[in-house]
Structure 1
């Protein structure tokens, strides 16, 4: 992937300051609608190499701290770090424990010493980082030799039903953009990591009506954050157009919402 492609992708992704504000606001409602996030995170934990006994682990993009608490239980007396760009999420998570330290920081520029962690776990956070190459470089710097980066992220194809339905209504940007799976593959291959596994898996949720999906995205803080998104309220006619278009996707279980999840396990060999 050349530098021009990286720059073009970065320009199309949300401003991280807006991401931080949006997720901070969603801290209190997030866990009530985070079914997908829990499923993906537990799947990522199941993919961790057997026998890991880290002295120090990092939950990168820790959010409400749900998986910081899971990791704290899994790794016993090891030291846990929970890091997130959203101050509101950290404030929510801190009283609930799980990690020993809660740190405000950016995955593209980690405020941590080199060779200081044995495991970096990141579930559904790195899709918001414009420079994934920098994320990999920073993770490699912070990990000790033999350390593991385990991440789950989103790629193109996520919320394709919602995107296609909006396209039938107008030409504006209504759904968050994500990287191609091939971009993840290439950037991981070009990194200093040894790629143990890298897979793309579809997770499909179903909803009775469109409004349940859009409400959930807002409660998660994951509603439309992209450059070029429409400003102000959406009119009744366009909403009705969206509902009508989405109905074409209806299945016996309801209206599908597909998430294309990238699972990666990378090792720092030296």
Structure 2
């Protein structure tokens, strides 16, 4: 297995740099990531017993360590586009191999894995059909791809609030659930399950949400995003607009999570 450098992925350089910088702060604010990943593990078919598993978008290695415990005795591969995340995760163990690479061009041999697990990483991939093609190539017959990703509707409250302020692109865009359905139907995988589930977090103030997104490395990475610092007037406008969404628990931030369990035909 050869390493792929981040430099080979110009369309994802911003993502890689952002998440590398966030490695040290990521786990302190990863409530959603923990909840979604554990939900995804709970959705795995009960008979899954991989000889080798691959954690795509492994980040700080939290779920690589969970998978290593759940499938003791199996061989684990942690793969991430952000070198900084791999550097952080490697001393903590969980997997036998830590590889810099891209889900759209996996640096693994054909028919080399029994399980591919990916939680909240594939939303950064522009070509989801390419992700599925690579997963089919790498998985053995009967192997399982389990993924959690994000779709349209994610952070809708933040998007709508910014829209009321200046109409610029401040929130990351995600593909529609219908696009996930179509790509999975066309992939050659057997779709065991594919559904969306909203996860709602609450914050005392908008700044707590924006701080968390920055600490996760998941702040605005879209083309067309505003450059430079955001002025005080626009921030005050954002806070005023977001107050319209306030609930008794606080300001809501909704994440529309796509859960997919696909099987490579035997």
Which residue, 182, 189, 195 being the options, matches 2:191? Answer: 195
Alpha-carbon distance, 1:51 to partner: 2.2
CA distance in 2, matches of 1:94, 1:179: 32
Alpha-carbon distance, 1:53 to partner: 1.1
Counterpart secondary structure, 1:168: helix
Q: Hey, what does 2:32 align to over in structure 1? A: 36
CA distance in 1, matches of 2:227, 2:58: 29
Which residue, 52, 62, 71 being the options, matches 1:66? Answer: 62
Which residue, 84, 87, 104 being the options, matches 1:88? Answer: 84
Counterpart secondary structure, 1:48: coil
The Cα offsets for residues 211-252 of structure 1, whole Å up to 9 and x where unpaired, read as 000000000000000000000000000000000000000000
Tell me, yes or no, if structure 1 residue 250 matches structure 2 residue 210.
no
Instruction: Detail structure 1 runs of 4+ shifted over 2 Å in the superposition.
Output: none
The Cα offsets for residues 170-216 of structure 1, whole Å up to 9 and x where unpaired, read as 01100000000000000000001000000000000000000000000
Unmatched 5+ residue regions in structure 1? 1-13
Counterpart secondary structure, 2:137: helix
Counterpart secondary structure, 1:52: coil
Alpha-carbon distance, 1:160 to partner: 0.1
Tell me, yes or no, if structure 1 residue 130 matches structure 2 residue 146.
no
Tell me, yes or no, if structure 1 residue 114 matches structure 2 residue 103.
no
Unmatched 5+ residue regions in structure 2? 1-9
What TM-score results when the alignment is normalised by the length of structure 1?
Answer: 0.94
Q: How many residues align?
A: 257
**What is the root-mean-square deviation of aligned Cα atoms in Å?**
0.8
Counterpart secondary structure, 1:42: helix
